[in-house]
Amino acid sequence: MRPTKAVINLARLKANYLAIRKKTKTKILAVVKADAYGHGFAEVVGALNSLKDKPEYFGVALTEEGIVLRKIKVKQPILIFEPVNEFNVDEIITYDLIPTVYSAAQIKLIEKRLAQHDSVRKRKIDGEFKVHVKIDTGMGRIGVRFDEAIHLIKQIASNEKFKIDGVYSHFSTSDEKDKTFSKLQLKRFTDIITELKKHNIQPNVIHIANSGALLTMPEANFDLVRPGISLYGYKPSQALVSDIKLKPVMSLISKVTACRWFEKGEFVSYGKLYEVKQRTQIVSLPIGYADGVNRNLSNNMSCIIKDKIYPQVGRITMDRIMFDVGDSKINIGDKAILIGQSKHYKIDAWDWSKTLGTIPYEITCNISKRVPKVYIDNGN
């Protein structure tokens, strides 16, 4: 196995989940899209389902992701965030997935395919077909407009072939300190729910709270919350203040595979971006941008070796990255922490994010498939 690896601490994953469960006291839809944010579908879902209070739902972006969950024997309801369409409707029906709908045309499409179930399904439906209706309360992406939602939901509720299992929306700015727009979205959503009750329409679950909201807006919890990045140990924004203590689940570890002295005036890596100022040791690690270490981190990141911080130097290359370790006694085979912690130092995905102008979501998702994942469950 490569000396470079992503270490996934499942004990931390479970601790994060249980902390969210304790705070919210609602049902939980665990968001595991994008290969569980780069942490691994099967292992993450398996760890969460090993708990007594396992998630009531799972959520994924793509139909293909839902199929993967079914194939690893996930029994909970699986919500597909992408809209149902002619390209995924048959698989949604076949694999008993819950589609996101927000138009009468989508309902007609599902109804048509259900009528043809013998040719598109491996099993028959007993009772009503479950859907979740998505309402656009201000996100401006997908969903029925909030001022048109009541009409559509009433129309779906009147169709005996369908069951509205859920009604949901998504916050645009819940990860920001200023909650003005989030409160407007919440009011729009709450007004719709209140109106539905007047028409005796009561979905099984009502949900709008993503990680940002569940950490800071308890009034938005309703029946179910949708933790995503918080499961994996990060707040969606450093501006958020929460009493939930989250621990990063992923560490990125490599080993020193080369170490040699450079003289003053010599250059390191492509483009002569780093000139050695005095005689020093440069170590090389077998990891690069093909593994998810963004090239724009060149000369702007660090690693931990033997509980000391060392700067990255020179252009990050596809397969290799260099660090200036001065005159420290560093040996080939020494462990190098790119994301993770030692006794006195810590580097997390926010450190990379600040330099790149992004968020931890992108950092963990971009650790590539060629980096082996090693799973531990030690509670540290």
Q: For each successive 10 residues of the chain (380 residues), what is the average pLDDT?
A: 94 97 95 98 97 97 98 97 95 95 97 74 61 97 96 96 96 92 97 97 96 94 97 92 92 97 97 96 98 98 98 98 97 97 96 96 96 88
DSSP string, 7-69: EEEHHHHHHHHHHHHHHH-SEEEEE-HHHHHHT-HHHHHHHHHTSTT--SEEEESSHHHHHHH
Q: Which of 133, 134, 94 has its CA nearest to residue 113?
A: 94
Q: What are phi and psi of 260, to 5 degrees?
A: -150, 160
CA distance 252 to 9: 11
Does the pTM surpass 0.75? The reply is: yes
CA distance 378 to 253: 17
Q: Which residues are catalytic?
A: 33, 270
Residue 71 tokens, joined: 């194939």
Domains defined for the chain, CATH in brackets: 10-232 (3.20.20.10), 250-376 (2.40.37.10)
DSSP string, 223-281: TEE--SGGGGT--S-TT---S------EEEEEE--EEEEE-TT-EESGGG-EE-SSSEE
How high is the pLDDT of residue 355? 96
Contact by Cβ (8 Å): 36, 45: yes
Question: In terms of residues, how long is the chain?
Answer: 380
Please enumerate in sequence order all residues whose Cβ is within 8 A of that of 368, keeping only pairs 6 or more positions apart, or say none: 290, 291, 292
